[in-house]
Amino acid sequence: MGQRTAVIGLGSMGYGMAESCLAAGHETYGFDVADAPMARLRTEGGAPGALADVAGQLDAAMVVVLNAAQTESVLFGENGIAPLMRQGAVVVACATVPPAFAKEMEARCSALGVHYLDAPISGGSIKAASGQLSVMTAGTAEAFAAAHPVLEATAETVFELGDTAGPGSAMKAVNQLLAGVHIAAMAEALTFGMTQGVTPEKFVEVISKCAGSSWMLENRAPHIVAGDYTPHSQVNIWPKDLGIVLDIAKSANFSAPITATALQQFIAAAGMGLGHEDDAAVAKVYARNAGLTLPGEGE
């Protein structure tokens, strides 16, 4: 039997997750600050209704927003849903946040009788739409049980990392360190190759089959080759996520110089006005500094 589920945050990941919940037979509500994705989801079978009106009837609320501040606003802000949710319902929190924040949200939800699952996600918009995400989860056995149907609908792999919130977000920070560094390193290598006459097309053809490849290289470098920076994951994600990594590192007295360098390149890209482009657009920082012309940029 399907659950009554809300997906809050219908961006590239959240929208695909809502579609996956619908495909699995869950009664699915979609909410966003923008009207267009909410209307689109309803045309695909999404349930109608205002969040405040349906919050008390939900079995699960998947919160797929940008950051900790937005997560806290959804749960405990002026129109926060946590006090409206029934006891035994579960919040599945999917944003990249500091582990300490996840622990705080768990405690505040628990005080209301609401389960909280620390559940950051990875896999990109295509895997979100096909129900094949990887989810790094941590929470009580009861939270896992309550979230199981929606995790089954949206994820291919669910890593159970702890019996209280925090470890899921810690693992996501480790992943984001690597992912952000790999995108920046790909952009650096691709544009370095251009200075030596290696075209972006040839770079992808050869390096994707060599030891220097990475998942991010294989996924993002083709965007540069195509000159298509339609955002699957925006440049703006990385100052936030790598900033979280460095905040955690600072609290642990851990030096992360490679992360810090990658962060500066994404900040530079945002400063060039590229914040809403695909994160592969960090290559434009290198291209500008080296006087290179990337595919699709003209002469």
As annotated, the active-site residues are 172
**CA–CA dist 89, 82 (Å, integer):** 9
- How many C-beta atoms surround the C-beta of residue 209 within 10 A? 10
Report the sign of the C-alpha dihedral through residues 8, 13, 152, 112, in that order.
negative
**CA–CA dist 106, 99 (Å, integer):** 11
- Strand ranges of the sheet holding 133-137, from the earlier edge strand across to the other edge: 121-122, 133-137, 155-160
* Helix pair 215-226, 200-207: axis angle to 10 deg: 160
Q: Which helix (H) or strand (E) holds 250?
A: helix 237-251
Question: b/e for 174-205, b at 16 or more Cβ within 10 A?
Answer: ebbbebbbbbbbbbbbbbebbeeebebeebbe
What single-letter DSSP state applies at residue 57?
A: G
The one-letter code for the residue type at 188 is E
